[in-house]
Structure 1
Amino acid sequence: MPKFNRIFFIVTDGLGIGKEPRQDEFGDTGANSFLHASEVLPLNIPTWTKLGITEIAKMAGHVQKNKHPLAYMGKIFEMSNGKDTLTGHWEMMGVYTKVPNPQFIEKGFPDELIKELSKAFDGRKIIGNRHESGTVILEELGHQTIEKGDIIVYTSPDSTLQICGDEKTLGVEKLTEYAKKARAICSSKPEWNVARVISRPFVFENGKFIRTFNRHDFANKPTSHIILEDLQTKGVEVIGVGKINDIFCGVGINTVYGPASDDENMDIAIDIATSNSKNQFIFVNLVEFDSHFGHRRNAIGYSENISRLDIKLTKLINSLKDDDLLIMTSDHGNDPTYKGTDHTREALPLTIYSKSFKNPKVLGNLKGLGTAGNIVARNWDVPLVCTGEDIFDKLI
């Protein structure tokens, strides 16, 4: 019989906590998303502080030790050879990424790929084709897309191919169709096989280009068996909130709540927690640390988002039943004060909370994001994964 009836698994996408063994190798020396955001604007996170976040992460203005943290706290060092969304989330569920997916930061996408995409996009002209911020490229080329029907294709610091179209003149349905075709084309050759193809619909309102939440990520399918599949076999309802369904291509997911704001995604988790549901794994991605603040190097917004999360975290914890478990971790860092716009390789926080815990403590350094996944695996008695440690018996 499972120890916990429901597990709420929250991923703070792009929230790192500083130095880890391979940080220099990835060119991210000194990156620390959590600390540097707190230095720009002080954090107001009483709940996460009581849980114990400052026992594993430095926070500006905080020096007092928490002698009795309410949660088990650990610092995870990622195992895989990457620092992107797919790599991190997949490692949580048991996939070790040895060879990162291709990136096209230096020169954009090759001419042959662009020609294939243009054919698939009903012969439309493709514009952009470079590594750029999505907001910047929309300011430059958004009107051309609306007026001429051209399609913006660009890449980010991740292994992505992003496609922009206007919701009013092109439509979300057509843009999604193009993204699906692009996924098939990219998957046809290893050298084109980006981790994610992303449809990026936008609207132009009140003199501004606004990217909407009607985006869709078309990711590669996990390259090996994942914990989510085993949970389904056991009859556990796997609920994907936010980008989760896209990240895992629907593999192992029963119920889907699509992309929305971090506040809205936390509200979904809170609503589930207040219900009397049984035997559920609720997997939540909070994307805005990454998409809205990290990549845009908006440290004030990043800090404000952490403080808003704490408010929602308080409500979630108050809603949990005695036999519920909360796990919070991150997939990579994205220091909003760091050079460039790329993700940053950092240590990642692990928070484990249940009202049933008698004497939580700091767990120290942990190897692999699969450590978080293995808690889930042990609870429902499915096979452990090799991308992390087994700490389940320490949770008393």
Structure 2
Amino acid sequence: MTKKGRAIILMMDSFGLGGAEDAAKFGDAGADTLGHIAAARGGLKVPNLAALGLLKAAEASSGAAPQAGPQEGAKINLPAKYGFMREISRGKDTSSGHWEMAGSPVQFEWGYFKPDYPSFPEELIQKICAEAGIPGILGNKAASGTEIIEELGEEHIQTGKPICYTSADSVFQIAAHEKHFGLDRLYKLCEIAFKHVAPYNIARVIARPFEGEKKGEFKRTKNRHDYSVKPPMVTVLDEIKNAGGEVISVGKISDIYAKQGITKAVKASGLEELWNATLAEAAAAPDFSLVFTNFVDFDMAWGHRRDTEGYARGLEYFDTRLPELAAQMKEGDIAFITADHGCDPTYKGTDHTREHVPVIMFGPGVRPQFIGGRDTYADLGQTVAEYFKLPPLKFGKSFLND
């Protein structure tokens, strides 16, 4: 029997609401992505998000209402449940946040490379270079991706050595020129590296292709590809797929889940393109479908770059597209707005920040309600499981009928 309705998850990568009880443990005491952006900007125009309860959820999370200013002109008129979620995974990284919201929290410690040069063990680099047939690597430290490409891009073109770097996340990143090094060759190199970093318990190897011929012209392309380990347990994505449903990933979702539980992967990058793809897939999705989008620019382009104004403009643009999604939702459909961690652009450093994240559920038949502070991101996955009448997940408590 076909399960009715479609679910859509709008995952605003890094959109934290402050207030995490364990923030100090991560060196993030006082971080508040939304609150600090609104204060630094002197206001935000997000009337549709406000109508769905975002600002009330943020106040409940951090204890202070965001200084967003009056919110007039909302064009969305759907009832919503709203609140915030706490993370129980041991990290504040992309994989942990995404997996937990799908019902698979990370209860082990990831491996990390040290931030200072040389970040990577010599034995590891020797194995990768020998198998890949490359003369060596550049970088070998923790760095901003855009900055290290600017620093070493010309030398990379001249020597053929890929630029390898890490961050505060459990990652091994490889940047290489699409034309001079070759995109397929970069992907193959990342596959080799992924195999060799496994003993170090590293979550992801990320291919970071770029273009341009000299300093000042280098620019990363949309052909990023993540090589990820698999979630440690069954997720709601697996449950949907195994029961005959459709799981449509937009952006980097498929990579983050190592393609597990995905029936269709749609490539897109940039806020506008991601929204266009999401709306197209949601409109075409049959009953018993989940459309799951990662809006990566909030993290990659603005959070990590500590670009407060860019983040604010991104939030305002995101808000303007919500009525389009609402207009094409039919009776029984539900949509969620959430995030995987924080990345406060006003905070010290360039790393993710440990924060609560929003959880908003809206749709034609939703009963409006404040659902409080949830004890785990997995509550979202459990809610989706109950919505589709699937077996309960191991973690999380549904708020579908709260």
Are 2:314 and 1:314 equivalent residues in the alignment? no
| 1:213 CA drift (Å) | 0.9
Residue 138 of structure 2, aligned match among 127, 133, 148: 127
Contact 2:205 2:227 in 1 (8 A): yes
CA 1:73/1:164 → structure 2, altered by over 3 Å: closer, same or farther?
A: same
Equivalent residue, structure 1, for 2:61: none
For the residues of structure 2 that align with 1:126 and 1:273, how far apart are their CA atoms? 43
| 1:309 CA drift (Å) | 0.6
Equivalent residue, structure 2, for 1:39: 39
The aligned runs of 1:246-325 (5 Å cut-off) are: 246-275=255-284, 277-325=286-334
Deviations 1:191-228 (A, max 9, x none): x2211100000001684110111010001111112221
Contact 1:369 1:387 in 2 (8 A): no
CA 1:323/1:2 → structure 2, altered by over 3 Å: closer, same or farther?
A: farther
Are 2:251 and 1:229 equivalent residues in the alignment? no
Contact 1:103 1:160 in 2 (8 A): yes
Are 2:250 and 1:241 equivalent residues in the alignment? yes
The aligned runs of 1:51-200 (5 Å cut-off) are: 51-57=52-58, 58-62=65-69, 70-107=79-116, 108-187=119-198, 189=199, 192-200=200-208
For the residues of structure 2 that align with 1:384 and 1:276, how far apart are their CA atoms? 24
Select between 246-255 and 96-105 the one with higher mean Cα deviation: 96-105
Deviations 1:59-100 (A, max 9, x none): 214489x9x983110110111111010001111122121223
The residue type equivalent to 1:387 in the other structure is F
Describe the SS at the equivalent of 1:374.
Answer: helix
Contact 2:288 2:388 in 1 (8 A): no
For the residues of structure 2 that align with 1:318 and 1:70, how far apart are their CA atoms? 13
Describe the SS at the equivalent of 2:208.
Answer: strand
Describe the SS at the equivalent of 2:385.
Answer: helix
Contact 2:3 2:287 in 1 (8 A): no
Between the two proteins, what is the percent identity of the paired residues? Answer: 36
CA 1:259/1:158 → structure 2, altered by over 3 Å: closer, same or farther?
A: farther
Are 2:14 and 1:14 equivalent residues in the alignment? yes
For the residues of structure 2 that align with 1:100 and 1:241, how far apart are their CA atoms? 28
CA 1:244/1:340 → structure 2, altered by over 3 Å: closer, same or farther?
A: same
Deviations 1:362-390 (A, max 9, x none): 11111111111111100122222233222
Are 2:51 and 1:50 equivalent residues in the alignment? yes
Contact 1:79 1:387 in 2 (8 A): no
For the residues of structure 2 that align with 1:197 and 1:300, how far apart are their CA atoms? 30
Contact 1:2 1:380 in 2 (8 A): no
Are 2:383 and 1:369 equivalent residues in the alignment? no
The residue type equivalent to 1:11 in the other structure is M
Residue 387 of structure 1, aligned match among 388, 391, 395: 395
Describe the SS at the equivalent of 1:44.
Answer: coil
The residue type equivalent to 1:106 in the other structure is P
Select between 315-324 and 150-159 the one with higher mean Cα deviation: 315-324
Deviations 1:295-336 (A, max 9, x none): 111111111111111112221112211221101111100000
Deviations 1:7-42 (A, max 9, x none): 001111111001121111111001000111122223
Equivalent residue, structure 2, for 1:203: 211
- Counting matched residue pairs gives 389
CA root-mean-square deviation: 2.0
| 1:276 CA drift (Å) | 6.5
| 1:285 CA drift (Å) | 0.7
Describe the SS at the equivalent of 1:271.
Answer: helix
The residue type equivalent to 1:139 in the other structure is E
- Tell me the TM-score normalized by structure 2: 0.92
CA 1:299/1:205 → structure 2, altered by over 3 Å: closer, same or farther?
A: farther
Are 2:386 and 1:378 equivalent residues in the alignment? yes
CA 1:77/1:326 → structure 2, altered by over 3 Å: closer, same or farther?
A: same
Are 2:337 and 1:336 equivalent residues in the alignment? no
For the residues of structure 2 that align with 1:124 and 1:317, how far apart are their CA atoms? 53
The residue type equivalent to 1:130 in the other structure is K
- Tell me the TM-score normalized by structure 1: 0.94
Describe the SS at the equivalent of 2:180.
Answer: coil
Select between 314-323 and 24-33 the one with higher mean Cα deviation: 314-323
Select between 385-394 and 25-34 the one with higher mean Cα deviation: 385-394
For the residues of structure 2 that align with 1:3 and 1:310, how far apart are their CA atoms? 30
For the residues of structure 1 that align with 2:46 and 2:394, how far apart are their CA atoms? 34
